[in-house]
Amino acid sequence: MSQYINLHTHRKPRVIGEIAIRNGFLKTIDFSKIDYPVSLGIHPWHVHKTNIDWALAQIEKNHAQIIAIGECGLDRVIQTTIELQLTTFHQQIELALKYHLPVIVHCVKAYSDFAAIAKQYPNVKFVLHGFSGNEETLQMLLNFKNVCFSVGKYLFNPTMNASLVIGKIPLNHLFLETDTSKYLISEIYQKAAQILEIEETVLKNQIFDNFANLFKIKK
């Protein structure tokens, strides 16, 4: 049976058979002690208080130990100017392109901005973590074959977009995650399988295949 893939989390695995991609923090991560899949990037919330040149140098220096760039992206709710966010996002995407890494994306109220970027970088694989767009947004983004979607805790709220649109996401573009939530990844899978009306084993196998394809892992 395939393992649980937790596309984005800030915790160690909490379930037997869980492969967790943990988000690293540039100022505290110690690569000499890393023995798990890690993503590393400059979160848009931190752009205004980060030495960008230093941060980019850290990502580049340690790229061999990084499985993905991120989370990084765009957030139109925060005060940091979208121009600065875009500049920093582009810089990180260029590193992803250089080292053939996927990008885990934080996107809030900026899906049109992101769509333009996805079109600009067709050879970069993007995963929109914590996807919360409506069906119209989803249909717009499905035009880009290099974009995948990861959903998690909002599946437990039937009024949230994640639970309303998950059935419209092609299974070969779907990931699941816990992020910072209280839920176990096994609970996320169980809920997703219930909404999709498919066997959990089928869902696990598909997402494991998605993981292997995204990260070029031999099965």
Dump pLDDT digits (tens) for 135-181. 999 999 999 999 999 999 999 999 999 999 999 999 999 999 999 99
DSSP letter for 179, please.
B
Q: How confident is the model at residue 216 (pLDDT cuts 50, 70, 90)?
A: confident
43 in Cβ contact with 79 (< 8 Å): no
pLDDT at 1: 53
Whole-number mean pLDDT of the chain?
Answer: 94
Q: What number is the average pLDDT over the span 188-198?
A: 98
Class of domain 4-214: alpha beta
pLDDT at 53: 95
Pairwise CA distance, residues 142 & 144, whole Å = 5
* Among 219, 218, 214, residue whose Cα is nearest residue 39: 214
> At residue 55, does pLDDT exceed 70?
yes
Structure confidence by residue, pLDDT tens digits, 17-52: 999 999 988 877 887 778 889 999 999 999 999 999
* Among 126, 113, 129, residue whose Cα is nearest residue 22: 129
91 in Cβ contact with 53 (< 8 Å): no
Q: What number is the average pLDDT over the span 69-81?
A: 96
Q: How confident is the model at residue 218 (pLDDT cuts 50, 70, 90)?
A: low
Cβ contacts of 212 within 8 Å, gap of 6 or more: 218, 219
Q: How confident is the model at residue 211 (pLDDT cuts 50, 70, 90)?
A: very high
* Among 169, 175, 192, 64, residue whose Cα is nearest residue 129: 175
CA dihedral 30→10→43→79, nearest 10 degrees, is -130
Cβ contacts of 96 within 8 Å, gap of 6 or more: 68, 69, 102, 103, 124
* Among 22, 85, 92, residue whose Cα is nearest residue 55: 92
pLDDT at 219: 57
pLDDT at 207: 98
Percent of the residues in the chain that have a pLDDT greater than 70, as a whole number = 99
